[in-house]
Structure 1
Amino acid sequence: MVLPVPNPTKSYWIEAAQSPLKDWRSTPELPNQTDIVIIGSGYTGATAAYWIHKHTAEHGTTPHMVMLEARDICGGATGRNGGQLRPHAYSRYLTWTTRFGKEGGLALIKHEMAHLDAFRDMLTAEGIADDVSFRLGETFDAAMTPAEWARLKSNYDAFVKDHGPEADVIRDCRIIEDPNEAEAFTQMKGCVGAVVHPSGQVWPYKFVHALLKIVAEKTGKLNVQAHTPALQVSERDAEGYITVTTPRGSVRAKAVIHSTNAWASHLLPEYKNIILPSLSTVAALKAPADLLKCTGAQQWGGEIWNYHLQIPPPYNAIIVGGAKCVITHYPRDWIKQGDDSKHLPGVADYMRTWGAAEVFEWPQDAGSELALPAQEGGSWTGLTSPTADAFPFVGAVPGREGHFIAAGFGGHGMPRILLSTAHLAPIVLAALGVQGVKKPAMLDKFPSMPQPFVPTAERVESLKDFDVQADIDADVKEHEAAAKLDIANGPRAVGWKTAA
């Protein structure tokens, strides 16, 4: 597996933020020794550093950390995602219970839903909620076909049957079965029914930069190094150190946290068939303030969907992700592909028409402009990191003493990573023998990390021979079938073919 490409498409999140920490290097030279090396400066790496700090802050025993980033700080998947803090409140329930039983499915949902309160508590405690455009509110799954409505409602009904309507994670969910009411609430033309549930949103790039600044300033023990890819990692030597090699020299560490998500197998080859990148598409549209009532997703079924949110003033941009009715026509160009320097055909033009075509009462003066030119961050590609068994890997790396992993969040990391790295931090600290470790009080009310996330030796071994090509072929076949649906054959979805 190669390193991330050095010239990714520009993202609105990054370009509009204009962060002075973009190319951050805490010191001109790379330190030659530290306690922990964190590889990756996105959401996972930043929260790992934060929780290591919080678990040791009371006794002042925070270990020294060096963070290595191949690109600019948070220039990978987190700086290119959709910004939605959107748990699967019910929609995966039948799939998860088939694999893990009723209580296993419930545990996965509780973990995701807990991220809403966890984000609120953490950002409020650090005083940065407004700085990172954080909001809690409602979201919706808008079913755009009767078949998709049946699928969504069957998951909702199954959850209520198994756990009751007053279960804490479903209590604030509701269904809207009347199409007129569903259209009015969602603002989506053609919606036949909707499920509404709690959700949140955040400016992911600003969030990571703010968090890293807090850890660096409060501890004085975080050294951040942009444009410094990790090329190789060693096993632990006789003195207890792991050597991490970069183009700028090597750094020795007692522990290494691999927070490289889709690129984990670059340094951990045992994951080469288990965690792989895939491309996704996102755009930012100009819009008046508060045009959309809440975040949401349109779902047609057959692998075709969009999702959206609106950033608070003064930015007001609407972030739209998906464009699946376009990209379903060329699935081999993006499924299990990792070159995010490419703009996928037809996506920018489709995104420009999204508001007028899909949203009720879209004002004429809102137009159809991207918030920035397409090549300057108005439309971009990002990476997801699907895994062979559909769950991330968070914990000690089996068979590699001193190595830890938090990767493979599959494009759904926002409601999974924060409490996963909270689980990982004390494991790393215990392995290092750090004294004065105390769980932050804010974590007491949150559930433990789900068992399917744990990277046991048995789990990794069972997946090492996963047939990636067969998986790609099956995924391609599903998208080729979806490409025959009516929604994928209108002028907005296929106009790029004529232009090409």
Structure 2
Amino acid sequence: MGAVISHLHGIYTSLTALIRTLSALNARYGALLERVHAGPFLPVEKPTESFWMRHPPFPEMGDVVWDGAPSASAEEREGGGFGEDEEEEVEVDVVVVGSGITGVSAVKTILELSSSPLMKTEGQGNDDQRGIPKIMVLEARQLCSGATARNGGHIKCAPHEEFARLRRTLGDDERARKVVRLQMRHLSALKEVGERMPLGEVREVETVDLFLDGDGFERARGNVDELRGWMPEVDVRVWEGEGEMREKFGVNRHVVGAISYQAGALWPYRLVTSLWHDLKSKYPSLTISTHTPVSSITPNASTAHPYTIHTPRGKIRARHVLHATNAYTGHLVPALRGCLTGVLGHMTAQKPGKDFSPVCHGGRSWSVMYGTGFDYVTQRPDGEDGQPGELMLGGGLFRSKEDGLDQVGVWDDGRVDAFPLMHLRGSMATIFEPRWGAERKLEGAWSGIMGFTGDMLPFVGGLPVGIGNGRRENVGGVGDGFGEWIAAGFSGEGMVWAWLSGVAVGIMMMGREEDELVEGEGRPGGRLGEWFPVEEVRVDVGRLKRARLENLVNEG
């Protein structure tokens, strides 16, 4: 009898523990949804220090503040900032909210298309600035201090994984293939830009996914087989066994299989700030104002400049507004709350151990795949002294206190959580020992905010009436049209979405989607729809339903 009672007591204890666990999980999920639907606020004033932002190449641009109207003379600017007179409103053609990679890509596209010989009127020389739009870029903190300055610097699309996922979510093989090709095209586009901006360290690398469990490896291998039938031009190699794989990649017995393919790496902050410096030197009509958060955008009665942008420095009226703030977009576009949320990501810069091999000189990147999570790693090129570059290692999302739930619905990059950091500090050593060694060093740890949507696709295009802040439909043509636009929600894959999304929305704002455009630096030629998945990322009521964040529960 005592044994029966003991057994029943054990069942009761187990059931009680299970109920408590489920109750706690339900409470955590409920708290997550509350955070998601409450939406973002402005970026915190004191973010963590990112390794990428150390020793900026153009320090004078980091804290530049607009002190007068665009193209104003020195005498006109002596009066101070544009917030001096609350009733006075400055008028510009375009306001871009956000100064990261998306914003600079869109601005570059608009200015270059506006100044191309094909856009000049008769008798107008190439140096003539007439007809080039007045653009104002507003940044809440320092220049390019958001996700672009905080990510892994990894231009990586796992084509086999993305194609398999998109086939499920889009229900169309051809549409899935178009999206994957757009993502993979970022490497060549960014390399073109990087050729003229060497501080960006844009380079091609061999990337390898290292699998720690057999089930995950077998699923990935099956996805590779499917990809070969639809995209035979993509070179993906599968490695397994203890011989060649471990010798080539230097890993130990914890790695059960590997998949290698082409990817890229870069120093994103330096690439983007180099571009802003270049654009400022070429186009007097471009104004940048940092430490200028936007509190709201409201429609006004003007037919020419129908949007009023409110900032602590005063009001600006614009024909067009571009939202390029990724996870923070819901602050100014409340309709996106519940569809686009912030997710806290952790990054580190680490000096590898003295025995780390094989030596790759910055030409390889890694992803460590385990269960539902993964870590991502690039290595900077060797230094001038010949020493190997830092490993830029991020991930550990599901190693947080609440298994990742407490990282979702978060917009605070002023914190670093202990559990993900503990994981990241041991990730590479675990799989490379004994080819790792002593003298490894943590050079920096920081966080950043990723912007996730419920269907894992970004929002790119015009914001229609009822979703944006305006009362009018978008009309292309920066000089004579008007509209509110977005390029945001890259779901942790910004380096294979943001640049060409910025190019695409810039073309849309110019009203040139149907034109056969000449190829430019980092900009594909032809009609937009030939290379960009316009329909898949369009913003409308139906898309917002598909992008509800509750849908992420069904992702897998």
Q: 1:92: which partner in 2?
A: 162
Q: 1:152: which partner in 2?
A: 220
Q: 1:494: which partner in 2?
A: none
Which one of the candidate residues 59, 65, 75 is aligned to 1:25? 65
Counterpart Cα distance in 1 of 2:442 and 2:544:
46
Residues 1:335 and 2:408 are matched in the alignment:
yes
Counterpart Cα distance in 1 of 2:260 and 2:401:
27
Which one of the candidate residues 211, 215, 223 is aligned to 2:275? 211
Residues 1:394 and 2:460 are matched in the alignment:
yes
SS of equivalent residue, structure 2 residue 299? coil
Q: 1:304: which partner in 2?
A: 373
Residues 1:105 and 2:144 are matched in the alignment:
no
Query: What count of residue pairs does the alignment treat as equivalent?
Result: 454
For 1:234-258, what per-residue CA distance to the aligned partner results, in whole angstroms no more than 9, with x for missing partners?
1253332111000111111110001
Residue pair 1:55, 1:440 contacting (<8 A) in 2 also: no
Which one of the candidate residues 192, 195, 211 is aligned to 1:121? 192
**Paired letter, 2:268:** P
Return closer, same or farther for 1:51/1:328 CA change in 2, 3 Å cut-off.
Answer: farther
For 1:164-216, what per-residue CA distance to the aligned partner results, in whole angstroms no more than 9, with x for missing partners?
xxx32x1x322213343333333333221111111101101111101111111
Moved more, 348-357 or 395-404: 348-357
For 1:32-77, what per-residue CA distance to the aligned partner results, in whole angstroms no more than 9, with x for missing partners?
2211000001111111111112212223543111000011111111
Gaps of at least 5 residues in structure 1 are 372-377, 479-500
Gaps of at least 5 residues in structure 2 are 1-39, 69-80, 83-88, 121-128, 473-482
Q: 1:483: which partner in 2?
A: none
Residues 1:199 and 2:271 are matched in the alignment:
no
- Residues 17-416 of structure 1: pairs in structure 2 closer than 5 A: 17=56, 19-20=58-59, 21-27=61-67, 29-30=81-82, 32-58=90-116, 59=120, 61-100=131-170, 101-124=172-195, 127-128=196-197, 130-163=198-231, 167-168=232-233, 170=234, 172-189=235-252, 190-241=254-305, 242-287=307-352, 290=360, 294-301=364-371, 303-314=372-383, 316-324=389-397, 326-327=399-400, 329-360=402-433, 362-365=435-438, 367-371=439-443, 378-399=444-465, 400=470, 401=472, 402-416=483-497
Q: 2:499: which partner in 1?
A: 418
**Paired letter, 1:252:** R
Residue pair 2:346, 2:421 contacting (<8 A) in 1 also: no
Return closer, same or farther for 1:227/1:453 CA change in 2, 3 Å cut-off.
Answer: farther
Moved more, 422-431 or 239-248: 422-431
Counterpart Cα distance in 1 of 2:66 and 2:250:
46
Counterpart Cα distance in 1 of 2:278 and 2:248:
39
**Paired letter, 2:201:** S
Residue pair 2:398, 2:404 contacting (<8 A) in 1 also: no
Aligned-pair CA distance for 1:453: 4.1
Counterpart Cα distance in 1 of 2:278 and 2:57:
18
For 1:132-180, what per-residue CA distance to the aligned partner results, in whole angstroms no more than 9, with x for missing partners?
11111211111111011011111111111344xxx32x1x322213343
Counterpart Cα distance in 1 of 2:428 and 2:456:
32
**Paired letter, 1:269:** P
Counterpart Cα distance in 1 of 2:447 and 2:58:
20
Moved more, 291-300 or 43-52: 291-300
Moved more, 31-40 or 13-22: 13-22
SS of equivalent residue, structure 1 residue 13? helix
For 1:283-316, what per-residue CA distance to the aligned partner results, in whole angstroms no more than 9, with x for missing partners?
0002378466510101012x22111011113281
Return closer, same or farther for 1:158/1:424 CA change in 2, 3 Å cut-off.
Answer: same
TM-score (norm 2): 0.76
**Paired letter, 2:152:** G
Counterpart Cα distance in 2 of 1:362 and 1:19:
38
For 1:94-143, what per-residue CA distance to the aligned partner results, in whole angstroms no more than 9, with x for missing partners?
2211233211111111101111111122222xx11x21111112111111
SS of equivalent residue, structure 1 residue 49? helix
Counterpart Cα distance in 1 of 2:360 and 2:55:
19
Aligned-pair CA distance for 1:328: 6.2
SS of equivalent residue, structure 1 residue 99? helix
TM-score (norm 1): 0.84
Counterpart Cα distance in 1 of 2:382 and 2:67:
35
Structure showing greater Rg:
2
Return closer, same or farther for 1:26/1:215 CA change in 2, 3 Å cut-off.
Answer: farther
Of all paired residues, the percent bearing the same amino acid is: 25
SS of equivalent residue, structure 1 residue 32? strand
Q: 1:492: which partner in 2?
A: none
Residue pair 1:88, 1:112 contacting (<8 A) in 2 also: no
Counterpart Cα distance in 2 of 1:206 and 1:258:
22
